[in-house]
Structures are given as C-alpha cells and as structure tokens.
A = this chain, B = another copy of it.
Amino acid sequence: MTSALTERARELDVLHAATDFRGRFRLPAGVIYLDGNSLGALPQGVAEAVADVVHRQWGNDLIASWNDAGWWQAPARVGDAIGALIGAAPGQVVCTDSTSVNLYKAVVAAARMRPGRRVVLTDPDSFPTDLYVTDAAARDAGLVVERVSPADAVARIAQVGDDLVLASYSSVDYRTGELWDLAEITRAAHEVGALACWDLCHSAGVLDVGLDEHGADLAVGCGYKYLNGGPGAPAFIYVAHRHQDDFDQPLSGWNGHATPFAMAPHFVPAPGITRARVGTPPLMGMLALEAALKAYDGVDPAAARERSLSLTGFFLECLDVLVPELDVATPREDARRGSQVSVRHPQAYAVVQALIARGVVGDFRESDIVRLGFAPLYLTHGDVLAAAEHLRAVIEGRAFEREQFTTRATVT
C-alpha cells in the first residue's frame, strides 16, 4: 500500500514539476514544514534584501532613502505585488498596518458608504480578531453584528435585505480549512445593495481569489502566512476602484493625506488606495515582504491553486490509506477546500507536539484541531506522503501519550 503511495507521490511530483519552487526557499534540513499558514518559510534573497536595507539604505544613505530607495512608494508597490496574487488590478491594494487595523478601517468605512443601514454579518467561527474588531467597529459606527455561518450567509443576506451594510467573511476557515464561496456571497450582498469584505489571510498566495473578477468590494489580509513576508510582516487592504472616492476610513494619518508634505492643517484624503495608509510604514518588514514576494515571480495564482489542491488532495488520499480512522475536519471536495487539511483528535495538542518531535511542523488550534498547512511553493507530494506516514506513526504508536507532550505552551 505504502509503495503504491510512494509511486504515486513520485508521479505527481513529476506531473507538477513546473510548479516546484522549493529552490526559492531556505528551509531547515530534516523538517517538513506544514505551518506556512502560521508563519511562511524564509525565501531566498530576503536576508540579502534586509541586509541592504539596514547597511546601505538606512546606515549609509539615511533619510535620502525616502526618495532614492523608493521608501515612500513601498506601500503602493508591495500592495500591487500582492494584488497580482489575489486578482486585483494595480492601484487597489496597499500594504499597511496589521490585518486587525485594516479590518477596522474597512468596517467603519463600509458603514459610512451605506448610511442608514445597520447590520453587519460575520462568521461566528472567524479568527477571533475578526470578531473582536468587527464588534468594536460596529459599536463605534452604530451597527449591529449578526454572527451567521458563511454556509447560511446567502439566505440571511436576503432576509436582512436593505438593512445590510456589509457581509464580512474569511475566504477560508482558519481551523477547518473550509473554503467559502466568495463570488456567491458577494453577489448576494450586492443584490441587497450591501458590500462584501473578505479576509484573505488564509487565501492570498494559495487560491485563485479573483477579487476583481468576482466584484469584491473590500478585502484585508496579512503578509506573513503564505506570502512568506516574515514575522509580523505588514498586512494589506483592498478597496475596489469604484469605492475609493467614498472610502472614508477613521484612521486618517498623514500618510493617507493628498499632500502629506504640505503639512496642511486639515485632512484631505489622497486619491485612490493611498487614503488607506495611516502613519509611517514599517519599512523593515515591508521591504522584507517585497523581497519575499519574488518567490512568486512568474507563478500564476491559478497554478499555485492547482498545486495546492493536488498536495492537499493527495494528503487526504494518503490518510484514507494510512490512518483511515482519523476524523478529517476539512472538506474533501476541491471547491470547498483551502490549502490546509485539519484533523480532529481528542489529544490534538499532544499529537502536534509529537509530530514536531519527528520534524513535521504543524500547529494546534483549540479545541481539538491538528492543523496542517500546505504551502504549494515549497512542498512536494513526497513531503506530503512522509507527513502522512509520520502522522500514522504518532497515532498508531500513541506517541502523544508521552509525558513531555502534555503541557500546553502559551503560543504556537
């Protein structure tokens, strides 16, 4: 059975050889890294780019780099590079702040774009910061938040009708990896005259998101997961061209001003996506992210998606053969699956620790999820099979019962 899987892994790796970009990353030896949906691996060239920022741009050229090294334009430049991976034409994405801060801007701005309406829909199973920030923005903007599963969103949107401001959803569930229908929910929101905002944290870089194609209004996401921008890399925000003139966000800092160096006494928002900027951008992380995005040079989002589906599909195939009793939380249909496979286990935390001890790095999510992310650029079908074999060994050998894996760390 395993030899058949070995053969199949080999065949799939040959079939997908054109999208094997492992050579563009520096991964530690002996590790199968299935946590690129928490912190992406280090791409080649980033260390050199960061050293150049520190030594030459900062240390030697000092403030002249605002012009000479293009620092001032970095948020727009990096935004456009991210835009290319999420189906956004240039001028609609800017790299700035954190996902949380950007979502706050989006929700408050949406309320101002739909005055008189009161309801925001969001997913009760969203990543918590989305829930907290949506609640906070709604409180500040006088809205009511209804937590409705994306599975029921289309029906509920129709019921709420012209009281709906915004349907705000994650494209992929961070725990189960379920992929929601961005096009369908967006269309439903538009039918009642509302807006749709998408959190792309678990989508950018691995899905053919198609924001423009599907008429999305607003989107946010982070730079440190599949985009590989490094720890705490700055986030991004997308505002569709047609909404930019009306995008009135609450954090009106000087970087979003029409004439920032005129030191004008009153705020006049810049034309275009620039108005979503706030303060001085975190350049060290942003320029690291810019260098990291080169790992995607020449990679079409559709090709990344195809490889991702092949990897996760093959992992499910391996699990069916090797550990068929496992409770898989991720949908098996391609159209409903992001770039991860999560399994439920009563001792999920210990299972994750035992896997890490064997060199397979995934993560644990409350309360019973073993979450394994498949970054398409640097994983092979051979890695996928090896990970499944380690998972079987951990489960069958009951490695998770060993003492050292039973204490929960505060973070992973």
Contacts and interface: CB of A to CB of B under 8 A. Distances in A.
A267 to B, nearest CB: 4
B254 A63 contact: no
A251 B35 contact: no
A276 interface: no
Task: Specify how many copies of this chain sit in the oligomer.
Answer: 2
Interface string A362-381: 01011000000000000000
A35 B62 contact: yes
A164 B84 CA distance: 49
Interface stretch (A14-22, A99-107, A312-320, A333-341): A99-107
A124 interface: yes
B54 A39 contact: no
B254 A60 contact: no
B361 A63 contact: yes
Contacts of A97: 97-98, 101, 279
A98 B58 CA distance: 19
A66 B31 CA distance: 18
A108 B137 CA distance: 12
A412 to B, nearest CB: 6
Contacts of A135: 252, 266-267
A100 B278 contact: yes
Interface string A208-235: 0000000000000010100000111111
Given A50-B54, A231-B58, A234-B282, A253 B101 contact: yes
Interface string A356-400: 000001010110000000000000000000000000000000000
A247 interface: no
Contacts of A57: 231
**The 3 nearest A-B residue pairs measured at CB:** A98-B279, A100-B253, A100-B279
